[in-house]
Structure 1
């Protein structure tokens, strides 16, 4: 088992399974591989159904324990801020763990991923003292009554997260759930468990009671056992649409609360009047950032015919300028895909597109021979004149593959944008305010970006329409997913 030379001194977190304060012994392990080399550097325990039961049991016990249940809101806020302080103090190590696991360049995890996770935690740390109910009067019943509402935590939350932004998407769930007073069992993707395990360690170190934040590692069977566990009150999931459908089905017997942030095939529309000096690089990186492994990446590009060739030329140049390399190399701008399986999947999409007669602008992406090792690198790929019914225009690729199509008027562009099973995000570049506002109204997506790309913030809600999910994360709205309203009516 080896690590990249740049991470030779990196200390891994404790990889053990814990149920509250008790250590569990796993019978099976998975290989944790470095996507930049394909080499195994750690063995991750696979939690059995019995292990999941023990970990959820500890979370349920912690939820009912006065040490957590009766903690004053300001004390809960202080705990959350102490965890954020610990993350800030350990930012370089967390960034290195994230880069090793995901293959992301260290320069990105240090400046984007870890700071974003800390920002989310601090934002929701300010909420515990503000989660109050309201008082009122009955509007239809005679007599004198004192009426008020309470907002109570739902209970044990299962947070199931993907491998593309492990610590960021975990914090999207952990921070509001803990702020609401729930306890959390986090199930990270099998490919990327390191920052989740370290986060649980840090929570224990800063004083969270045992069982309030737990991590269960393992494969799909482990996640399924967690999602259907009868003592889990709420499942918060980010990942594929197919897995989200399975989680939703598993929630039915217990009527669990579920939020699902699922797949996307987000459109990008560049109008004739767009500022191309901004639109071209943004549309390119809206697809190529993080090697295209972004749920709301703009992977369908619709460009007004009058500027189509200019835009394609510019985007191809941006793609060609991406410096691909190992995650420990600070010169790297773009890392590999997460795994050999993902590389094979993305390659299959581009191979079938070429076989169907779809042309690439510049070289077609794929393995990059000049890079050392056996990493899963895939170069940015731009496909032109893609028919709306082509597989590459309809299926989520989750790689740096951009499918471009020209349009002649805005009605056509919006129709093309909406011709999808997904509705997570959309991007529009225009100087015309009427076009911007009408597009935002008519495009079927949970978020519409105008003259910008891929922003996310704890202040506004994020989620999808259609097959892109149920419910919202972030913003004040997400707190409703972790709180139960209760009405209290007293006769006077």
Structure 2
């Protein structure tokens, strides 16, 4: 039906053009299928607001089929009998498939999400395939331990680490393929079977991966099931399904609380990676030649649609004006445009709804007395969902833009004049979230003391937005439960069984 935009730059890869012209399908029980009710979701290019594809709208009956396929594959299929080495090889193969099709996936992420294609090529896609490579190695390293109970007589005791079972995974729209990798790789390495629901705003890379799994990966049917649909029609039935043993969710804190309620029916295990309101603290001795570009990147990478974006800047009054002038100048020079334009440095927001939401925060900041240092408006002459990088000063802790997660290219800067670490940490921690933070100083002692005082799952020192499959990622407080990545991610998908025999 040729809905893709022919004037996009660069020209779409032939395989992607054909994929968009066709009819992307759900992956259920090893087959590519349409939604049973026949519903379709329009997928729009955020740079033009044009429909570029239509994907199946899965509903409860499709979710039930996918869960039952995963249940059968876990309970009765070859997956549960496969050796750890063979399982690891299949997980590694998923990484190889993504790396082999890296340019296609980069174009899909840019077209679907709006992010600059240079960003997708350099960050999203390599992190995705490297996550599969890293987790593939863990498949053969899951082990229990021998124990020595203090009981009468002689006993032999040990533990087994076993997969939790069928896992429902719900991913967000800001890093579609990377989030799919963060969810799929550890679950598969642990021996679980999966039903993954992609975000309805950005389903294209997940469904392309589904297609490639069928064509190239050779997984047993039912081990990986990939669906698309809305939260109420597909996400809620998945979270509540009685045959699902665990839910892993990444998204907003409000929806995370709904997931917890839905999971209560059979007390399925839950991990959550939720919202954030990351502080970035710049001390008077900070190297501003590093801090200015670092804070700019921390604030506006991925259009600010990042749960760990540096949305609250605290800078010492002695360097506040220099820092903010530098960040403001750098932000004003960021080239905003279509993600598929290779010269674009910041793309549009993901949807019209998201643009309305973020623009509402900008207006709220103005209404509450904030001063716009730069940005605050859209991109004239376009139909896309654009908002220029925006910096507020003259803020106070009671303002919505200081308290609430905006999830867009809007940051708030405040000066401090007291370098007492406990007081600074208290201000940084004055939020319901605790996902990430960054500290900028040349004093190693101050840096590490602040890292201990800040209540967040990730603290970056003289950097921001550093991710790697080996680094555990997750939050304190209302930023979630559990950790993605690293050895800790496997714990999300494993049960511990104690075995004792009297001798």
TM-score range, shorter chain: over 0.9
**Residue number in structure 2 paired with 1:282:** 294
**Residue number in structure 1 paired with 2:353:** 341
Mapped pair 1:379 → 2:388: yes
Mapped pair 1:303 → 2:310: no
Mapped pair 1:20 → 2:29: yes
Instruction: Write the deviation string for residues 393-445 of structure 1: whole angstroms up to 9, x where unpaired.
Output: 00111111110000012334222211111111111001112211111111111
Q: 1:295 to 1:52 in 2, by over 3 A?
A: same
Mapped pair 1:141 → 2:151: yes
- Indicate which of 64, 76, 97 corresponds to 1:86: 97
Paired residues of 1:17 and 1:26 also in contact (CA < 8 A): no
Distance in structure 2 (CA, Å) of the matches to 1:94 and 1:312: 36
What TM-score do the two structures reach when normalised by structure 1? Answer: 0.97
Q: 1:4 to 1:352 in 2, by over 3 A?
A: farther
**Residue number in structure 1 paired with 2:18:** 11
Paired residues of 2:197 and 2:235 also in contact (CA < 8 A): yes
Distance in structure 2 (CA, Å) of the matches to 1:16 and 1:203: 12
**Residue number in structure 1 paired with 2:4:** 2
- Indicate which of 400, 404, 421 corresponds to 1:395: 404
Paired residues of 2:300 and 2:409 also in contact (CA < 8 A): yes
C-alpha deviation, 1:5, in angstroms: 2.3
Distance in structure 1 (CA, Å) of the matches to 2:4 and 2:19: 12
Q: 1:478 to 1:200 in 2, by over 3 A?
A: same
Distance in structure 2 (CA, Å) of the matches to 1:98 and 1:339: 14
Distance in structure 2 (CA, Å) of the matches to 1:134 and 1:152: 13
Distance in structure 1 (CA, Å) of the matches to 2:170 and 2:345: 28
Distance in structure 1 (CA, Å) of the matches to 2:6 and 2:500: 63
Over the aligned positions, Cα root-mean-square deviation in angstroms equals 1.4
Mapped pair 1:120 → 2:127: no
Aligned length: 488
- Indicate which of 309, 323, 332 corresponds to 2:344: 332
Instruction: Write the deviation string for residues 235-293 of structure 1: whole angstroms up to 9, x where unpaired.
Output: 11110000000001111121111110100011010000000111111111101111100
Distance in structure 1 (CA, Å) of the matches to 2:138 and 2:125: 21
**Residue number in structure 1 paired with 2:181:** 171
Paired residues of 1:385 and 1:406 also in contact (CA < 8 A): no
**Residue number in structure 2 paired with 1:157:** 167
Paired residues of 2:41 and 2:200 also in contact (CA < 8 A): yes
Distance in structure 1 (CA, Å) of the matches to 2:131 and 2:4: 33
- In the TM superposition, 1:132-281 aligns within 5 A as 132-138=143-149, 140-204=150-214, 205-221=216-232, 222-281=234-293
| SS in structure 1 of the partner of residue 19 of structure 2 | coil
**Residue number in structure 1 paired with 2:122:** 111
Paired residues of 2:26 and 2:210 also in contact (CA < 8 A): no
C-alpha deviation, 1:4, in angstroms: 5.1
| SS in structure 1 of the partner of residue 276 of structure 2 | coil
- Indicate which of 25, 43, 49 corresponds to 1:32: 43
| SS in structure 1 of the partner of residue 140 of structure 2 | helix
Unpaired runs of at least 5, structure 2: none
- Indicate which of 450, 473, 487 corresponds to 2:484: 473
**Residue number in structure 2 paired with 1:487:** 498
**Residue number in structure 1 paired with 2:424:** 413
Paired residues of 1:156 and 1:234 also in contact (CA < 8 A): yes
**Residue number in structure 1 paired with 2:78:** 67
Distance in structure 1 (CA, Å) of the matches to 2:348 and 2:222: 35
Distance in structure 1 (CA, Å) of the matches to 2:365 and 2:478: 23
Distance in structure 1 (CA, Å) of the matches to 2:481 and 2:89: 32
Paired residues of 1:286 and 1:297 also in contact (CA < 8 A): yes
Paired residues of 1:12 and 1:194 also in contact (CA < 8 A): no
Distance in structure 1 (CA, Å) of the matches to 2:227 and 2:496: 29
C-alpha deviation, 1:201, in angstroms: 2.2
Paired residues of 2:26 and 2:207 also in contact (CA < 8 A): no
Distance in structure 1 (CA, Å) of the matches to 2:377 and 2:171: 27
Paired residues of 1:422 and 1:466 also in contact (CA < 8 A): yes
| SS in structure 1 of the partner of residue 18 of structure 2 | coil
Moved more, 377-386 or 410-419: 410-419
**Residue number in structure 1 paired with 2:108:** 97
Mapped pair 1:294 → 2:330: no
Unpaired runs of at least 5, structure 1: none
Following TM superposition, where does structure 1 have runs of at least 4 consecutive aligned residues deviating by more than 4 angstroms? none
**Residue number in structure 1 paired with 2:376:** 365
Distance in structure 1 (CA, Å) of the matches to 2:25 and 2:178: 22
| SS in structure 2 of the partner of residue 101 of structure 1 | helix
| SS in structure 2 of the partner of residue 159 of structure 1 | strand
Distance in structure 1 (CA, Å) of the matches to 2:30 and 2:282: 55
